[in-house]
Amino acid sequence: MTERSPAEGTPDSESPVEGAKPDRVVVDDFTRTYGGVPVLNSVSLVFEPGLTAVIGPNGSGKSTLLGALAGTVLPTTGQVQPPIAEDGGRKSIGYLPQQVPFREGFTARETLAFYARLVDGDPDAALASVGLSDAADKPVEDLSGGMQRLLGIAQAMLGDPPLVVLDEPASGLDPGMRERAFRTAATNVTDGKTVVVSTHNLDLVDAHADRVVMLVRGRVAVAGDLDALRDEYDVDTTAALYEAAGRDITLFRTDDDADPARSGAAAEDERNGPGDDGDRDVHVTGVSER
């Protein structure tokens, strides 16, 4: 854990892009709208090495945020500063989208070999890392859905990128496969990588994540070190944290709706109570109706 929470609301005093470092990913006041409707709304976060889980209800903006990190979703306003290489260029990013369109007719090894050539990766090592060595010669269409998901994780980790973004890596997997998917992601973190994973599997977040970002209606409801958040909310599990933070958000929305002057910061101060200066690792913003 660094001095500041690795996944947190970005403080006003620091320009996120100036604050960019080789191993940090900065999301700076990022808004994305579709048809004028914001699906991510003024999101500011800093991601540092470790496993950060992005959680939240269906449609809360998790995939959009992960797409923003991977560079496939462009901002309407705001920006993302990806990790910077020593020569000032961008470092590569590994990305597992929600749907992976592997081309039929190629084996698992051939599929990874194609991607491996682009990033100087080792397809056999990548297959081994997700436990798919025995399936290397099977056509991708003959792999189970779970095995295809694992192949997607292996593809995202090819070439050892410093930032790995996995959108629901455990989706559709049985419990054993889910555990394997998360363990693979968590193992990757030991090399000082930044791994960001969206998921609805809160038990796996408890078991493997260092930090958590919870989105609600396109806004950051709560973000920071998982242990610290569980302490703060006096809960033992991420599932309980999810419930507790969700309750807070509902309250904030009611306040904001009733009195526009009581927007995010004011509502947060109220929640912090007298004597708290509001300078917390976790920034909870108000949630507006869309």
Ligand X SMILES: Nc1ncnc2c1ncn2[C@@H]1O[C@H](COP(=O)(O)OP(=O)(O)OP(=O)(O)O)[C@@H](O)[C@H]1O
Task: Give the binding site for ligand X (CB under 6 A).
Answer: 34, 39, 56, 58-64
- Given the complex with ligand X, which of 49 and 67 has the nearer CB atom? 67
Q: C-beta of 279: minimal distance to ligand X in Å?
A: 29
- Given the complex with ligand X, which of 126 and 156 has the nearer CB atom? 156
The residues, ordered by sequence, that sit 6+ positions from 254 with a Cβ below 8 Å of its Cβ are none
Beta bridge partners of 55: 214
Q: Cα angle at 150 between 149 and 152, to 5 degrees?
A: 65
Residues in the chain: 290
Q: C-beta of 19: minimal distance to ligand X in Å?
A: 25
- Given the complex with ligand X, which of 66 and 132 has the nearer CB atom? 66
Q: C-beta of 184: minimal distance to ligand X in Å?
A: 21
- Given the complex with ligand X, which of 68 and 112 has the nearer CB atom? 68
Q: C-beta of 4: minimal distance to ligand X in Å?
A: 26
- Given the complex with ligand X, which of 68 and 135 has the nearer CB atom? 68
Quote the tokens at residue 169: 């890596």
Residues 31 and 40 sit within 8 Å (Cβ to Cβ)? yes
Q: How far apart are CA 146 and CA 99, in angstroms?
A: 12
Distances (CA, A) of 183 to 162, 187, 209: 17, 6, 10
Q: C-beta of 56: minimal distance to ligand X in Å?
A: 6
